[in-house]
Structure 1
Amino acid sequence: MPNFKTSSIRILAASTFVFGSLMAVQAPAFAGAGHSDAHGSEAAFDIGAPGNISDVRRTIRITMEDNFYDPEKIIVRGGETVRFLVENKGEFVHEFNIGTAAMHAGHQEEMMMMVEHGVLDVDKIHMDKMEMDMGNGMTMKHDDPNSVLLEPGKTAEVIWTFPKAAELEFACNVPGHYESGMVGKVRLQ
């Protein structure tokens, strides 16, 4: 039987290696909307919309660790507005982002740009660099209503109204985290 502490250290070391290795890789050119607009595009309509606190009937607590979520799956009703209380209990910066697999793939390129431009360190978000121009007036601002990006020990909330039908997941798009398994399923009923 493997030692839990040793396994955790190996996972932490592997995550650090993946993150560090990805930081050295040149990201491909990014075309399209800026970071703060990418999730507000027409595709966002397929994933739901920001919710109103007055419509919330339940709260789901999401804990982010290195590199997994607790819980790993959520079940919601189509049209339901949910308040997510998200806490980062890990040692790294993590994200809770509701979207489709395709949206996450595109967002991972944006997050890589944040690393390359010094906005994100393994355990720190440099908020002063979020307004940096990536070209064509696009910024690295991370203020989409379907997402929160948190340093270790921080908490935030997302209030989201789910669509009637969609294939959704929640994920961390910090370089290497999605690939390490930091993704959860959203099941709509």
Structure 2
Amino acid sequence: MTLRNRLALAGGLLVLSVSALASPAGTYTFGQPASAANATRTVEVDMTDIAFTPKALQVKAGETVRFVLVNKGQLLHEFNLGDAAMHAAHQKEMLKMQQSGAMTPTGMSHDGMDHSAMGHGAMGMAGMKHDDPNSVLVEPGKTAELTWTFSQADNLEFACNIPGHYQAGMVGTLKVDP
């Protein structure tokens, strides 16, 4: 693939990603993504095989929190904000990504993927992306960030939805106070 074709593909994926963020399906009752510059607090969360430290967090409605996620483990991990039902649904998507070869134990791979196995048809690569605004994947030894403004009081979880990780206990509680 030529550089020109790669750039055209990347631009097309960017357009699809931005339009997905603007759709009603990309909205969350508990808040929205925010700029790190707007954060009122920074919280570091360590990811190991298979745990988060700390295991519980407390924030306030209206607060913008910058999460600094440090993967100290040997495996790929995810930090995903949501309730138990959202995590259950996302785990099914992550399993499909793993089964298709899009996700390996230590990272994401777009080589040799069978996009038709994902049931996305003409969407191709766009359906294979892990680009939910309430979620970030962190490779072993890497650090990533997610900044979020919490809109209302709620009882949430932060979880790693990579197949088997949630079930092994890689989940924490996130209480949003009024």
- If the length of structure 1 is used for normalisation, what is the TM-score? 0.73
Distance apart, 1:45 and its partner CA? 2.1
1:124, 1:54 → 2: CA distance? Answer: 28
Equivalent residue, structure 2, for 1:68: 51
Equivalent residue, structure 2, for 1:94: 77
Q: Deviations over 1:42-95 (max 9, x none)?
A: 484212101133321110001100110011111101110000110111111100
**Is 2:114 the partner of 1:115?**
no
CA shift in 2, pair 1:171/1:129, >3 Å: farther
User: Greater helix share, 1 or 2?
Assistant: 2
1:167 aligned counterpart, secondary structure: strand
Matches within 5 A, 1:135-154: 135-136=120-121, 137=123, 139-154=127-142
2:24, 2:113 → 1: CA distance? Answer: 20
Structure 2: unaligned runs, 5 residues or longer: 1-18
1:139 aligned counterpart, secondary structure: helix
2:57 aligned counterpart, secondary structure: strand
Matches within 5 A, 1:76-91: 76-91=59-74
Equivalent residue, structure 2, for 1:23: none
CA shift in 2, pair 1:150/1:131, >3 Å: farther
1:105 aligned counterpart, secondary structure: helix
1:41, 1:111 → 2: CA distance? Answer: 21
1:53, 1:131 → 2: CA distance? Answer: 36
**Is 2:158 the partner of 1:170?**
yes
2:152 aligned counterpart, secondary structure: coil
**Is 2:109 the partner of 1:126?**
yes
**Kept in 1: contact 2:157–2:171 (CA 8 A):** yes
CA shift in 2, pair 1:127/1:63, >3 Å: farther
Question: Alignment partner for residue 56 of structure 1, among 30, 35, 39?
Answer: 39
Matches within 5 A, 1:38-49: 41-42=24-25, 44-49=27-32
User: Greater strand share, 1 or 2?
Assistant: 2
**What is the root-mean-square deviation of aligned Cα atoms in Å?**
2.5
- If the length of structure 2 is used for normalisation, what is the TM-score? 0.77
Distance apart, 1:151 and its partner CA? 1.3
1:73, 1:46 → 2: CA distance? Answer: 21
Task: Count the aligned residue pairs.
Answer: 154
State the one-letter code of the partner of 1:94.
H
State the one-letter code of the partner of 2:128.
M
1:129, 1:95 → 2: CA distance? Answer: 23
Query: Which range moves more in the overlay, 90-99 or 158-167?
Result: 158-167
